[in-house]
């Protein structure tokens, strides 16, 4: 039986009274789902993640996590939701991969034995075990993105947010990150991804949210929305004038 992990009702946000940037956005996400949020540039996708995370304060919203109302608990939401930013370098602070993974846990005074356990689990899952003593600055783009994901994962968030996880990566880097995302999904993690590169990930998404000018205008399984996306500024690869079948929208061979 599906279990709702995140429920958002009538989320609104604006920087000023003159212009509302997010308008009455409502949706539900089930535990273990991979949800893809798409829309044209400036539609409000990244703003939505920041409002949910607690980095920006919604004008109004009801936000439930596992049935608990955390709408007015931005500090708690920062713990419940892990956000991997588009620029991985901005999240990497340690002099080695291991020290970077320890950074957040040390700030929370997590016991040494628990730190070791989490680092071991996450570094194996994301294939970072052999890089623990490496300096982050020598890592490839894909390795840095995986380290940023790992740095969030060791904090044990309820939901992982990712903002453009494939940005500025070469082909090997995209494959590394995509494989990591699928491993997280297979291990039961709930993931919400903002991306305009749907041809790399859509085949693996359980749900697709389409945002336009701050409004949520569609929420369904990806294959039912593909033909609508180009009309709303979202690139969808085509062949012979038709959208590429959803099962082919991945950079991994099935």
Give residue-wise pLDDT tens across range 182-194.
Answer: 999 999 999 999 9
The whole-angstrom distance between residue 62's C-alpha and the CA centroid of its chain comes to 20
- Partnered with residue 163 across adjacent β-strands are 194
Indicate whether 77 belongs to any domain: yes
Any idea which residue has 């991985």 for tokens? 88
In the numeric block, which tokens belong to residue 118?
Answer: 């989490």
Indicate whether 238 belongs to any domain: yes
CATH number at residue 176: 3.40.50.300
User: Would the pTM of this model clear 0.85, i.e. be above it?
Assistant: yes
Indicate whether 66 belongs to any domain: yes
**pLDDT for position 16:** 84
Indicate whether 216 belongs to any domain: yes
Total domains present in the chain: 1
> What's the number of CA atoms in the CB half-sphere (13 Å) around residue 187?
17
Indicate whether 253 belongs to any domain: no
pLDDT at 254 over 70: no
Question: How confident is the prediction for the chain on average, in pLDDT?
Answer: 94
Q: Where are the alpha helices (DSSP H) in 108-170?
A: 112-125, 141-153
Indicate whether 30 belongs to any domain: yes
Percentage, residues of the chain above pLDDT 90: 88
pLDDT at 114 over 90: yes
Indicate whether 83 belongs to any domain: yes
Indicate whether 254 belongs to any domain: no
Give residue-wise pLDDT tens across range 81-106.
Answer: 999 998 888 899 999 999 999 999 99
Distance CA 136, CA 147 (A): 8
**pLDDT for position 57:** 95
Helical (H) or strand (E) element with 28 = strand 22-30
Which residue did the predictor score with more confidence, 16 or 135?
135
Give residue-wise pLDDT tens across range 180-230.
Answer: 999 999 999 999 999 999 999 999 999 999 999 999 999 999 999 999 999
**pLDDT for position 240:** 82
pLDDT at 146 over 80: yes
Give residue 226's domain range.
Answer: 4-248
């Amino acid at each position: 039986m599906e279990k709702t992990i995140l429920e958002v009702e009538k989320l609104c946000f604006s920087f000023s009274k003159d212009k509302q940037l997010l308008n009455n956005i409502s949706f539900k996400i089930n535990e273990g789902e991979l949800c893809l949020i798409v829309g044209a540039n400036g539609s409000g996708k990244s703003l939505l993640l920041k409002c949910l995370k607690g980095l920006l304060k919604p004008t109004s919203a009801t936000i439930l996590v596992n049935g608990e109302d955390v709408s007015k608990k931005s500090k708690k939401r920062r713990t419940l939701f892990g956000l991997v930013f588009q620029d991985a370098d901005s999240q990497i602070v340690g002099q080695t991969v291991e020290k970077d993974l320890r950074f957040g846990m040390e700030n929370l005074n997590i016991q040494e034995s628990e730190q070791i356990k989490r680092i071991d689990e996450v570094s194996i899952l994301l294939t970072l075990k052999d890089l623990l003593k490496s300096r982050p600055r020598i890592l490839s783009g894909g390795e840095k993105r995986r380290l940023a994901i790992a740095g969030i994962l060791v904090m044990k968030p309820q939901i992982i947010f990712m903002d453009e996880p494939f940005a500025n990566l070469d082909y090997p880097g995209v494959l590394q990150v995509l494989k990591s995302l699928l491993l997280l999904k297979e291990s039961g993690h709930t993931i919400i991804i903002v991306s305009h590169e749907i041809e790399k990930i859509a085949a693996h998404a359980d749900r697709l949210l389409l945002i336009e000018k701050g409004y949520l205008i569609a929420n369904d399984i990806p294959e039912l929305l593909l033909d609508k996306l180009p009309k709303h500024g979202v690139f969808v690869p085509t062949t012979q004038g038709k959208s590429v079948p959803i099962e082919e929208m991945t950079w991994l061979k099935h």
